[in-house]
Structure 1
Amino acid sequence: MKYQILLAAALLFSACNRDKSGEVGTEGMNAAATDAASDATANPTVDNPNVVSEDEAPNPNAPVMKFTESEFDFGDIKADSKVRHTFTFTNTGKSPLLIQDAIVSCGCTTPSWTKAPVLPGAQGTMEVQFDSRGKQGIISKQIAVRANTQPNITTILIKGNVLTVGAAASSPL
């Protein structure tokens, strides 16, 4: 019992000493935060080519990617199978549209797209293949299409329900 009281007292006193040294340490952290804030005030602009600033007008001649559908639902997908869907888009802008790349949220999803510039008024495609191998249940995968548009990222989505091995799609009676 004596040892427990001594241990509690020792912890109490050491905790008090830590508070004091913590206060000293925060002065350095506060000084660093103050320096960072003063730097931000001195140089308030940050160049980001993907964001149109409030005082900069968007390019009226930029290409515009308009998908006929922004998401597709495969419904029930057999286990260990591959399914595909082709998204169609139109360039409703005033200059040629060029897709730089398409970033997927999972390695099980593979996009392929029109490589040539899509002229104003013309259509292009984005084919998306999903491999259900090793997956089961509800899936939702995003494809971020990066192009010379404003904004430069357009997101499309595929979804579905991967059935378990041996399960058949249920049908209403």
Structure 2
Amino acid sequence: MKKLILPLAALAFMASCNNAPKNEASDSNATTETSAATANEGIGVIKFEDAAFDFGSIKEGEVVKHDFIFTNTGNAPVILAQVSASCGCTTPKYTSEPVLPGKEGVITVEFNSENQVGQQQKIITVASNAESNIMTVQLKGTVNPKS
């Protein structure tokens, strides 16, 4: 009988030891999840009304102007750090003040079609502190040669 009690006591002790790390792991996971949730608080999110604008067909030399309007759907201000175009014929101007949650910002793009005959696709890259910190919008269409 004594031979059975010692192994059973050892087994019970080991079983109780195994429960402690599982509880600590569960507590650790809960802490990690809480930390992750806290880390995600305070992030701005850019949502464009339209991420592409097709200006259709124009004659060479015409200037196309379009406003890319976006809303900050996050819960922290969005700051546009840099907005650049893929070509010197395209000039972006943008909101320089922080865009508060729920508010709108704008990126105005001008495309000068001089010497840009044919199908056109101009990419505008937007760098910000938002959740997706690098985004793109595009301007596209066809430029017909001067008559």
Q: TM (normalized to structure 2)?
A: 0.72
Report the CA distance between 1:104 and its aligned residue: 1.0
Q: Tell me what 1:151 maps to.
A: 132
Name the structure 1 match of 2:144.
163
| 2:41 corresponds to 1:64 | no
Displacement after TM superposition at 1:139 (Å): 0.2
| Equivalent AA in structure 2 for residue 60 of structure 1 | E
SS of equivalent to 2:43: coil
Equivalent residue for 1:87, pick from 68, 77, 100: 68
Superposition CA RMSD, Å:
1.4
**Mapped pair 1:112 → 2:93:** yes
Q: Residues of 1 paired with 2:41 and 2:56: CA distance?
A: 39
What whole-Å deviation, never above 9, does each CA across 1:129-163 have from its counterpart, x for those lacking one?
00001110100010010010122111101001001
- AA of the residue aligned to 2:113: S
**How far did 1:112 drift?**
0.4
Q: Distance in 2 between matches of 1:150 and 1:64?
A: 5
For residue 60 of structure 1, report the CA deviation from its aligned partner: 3.4
Q: For 2:81, which of 100, 105, 123 is the aligned residue?
A: 100
Q: Which amino acid aligns with 2:139?
A: I
The one-letter code sitting in structure 1 at the alignment partner of 2:74 is G
User: Which of residues 135, 139, 146 in structure 1 aligns to 2:120?
Assistant: 139
Match of 2:108 in 1: 127
Task: Describe the superposition over 1:28-86 as per-residue Cα deviations: whole angstroms up to 9, x where unpaired.
Answer: xxxxxxxxxxxxxxxxxxxxxxxxxxxx9562321001000010000012211211000
**Amino acid of the residue matched to residue 149 of structure 1?**
A
Task: Provide the C-alpha distance between the structure 1 equivalents of 2:123 and 2:115, rounded to a whole number of angstroms.
Answer: 18
Normalised to the residue count of structure 1, the TM-score between the two structures is 0.61
Unaligned runs of 5+ in 1: 1-55, 167-173
* Aligned positions, number: 111
Distance in 2, Cα, partners of 1:76 & 1:91: 32
Report sequence identity in percent.
43
Task: Quote the Cα distance in structure 2 between the aligned partners of 1:102 and 1:59.
Answer: 25
CA distance in 1, matches of 2:51, 2:41: 23
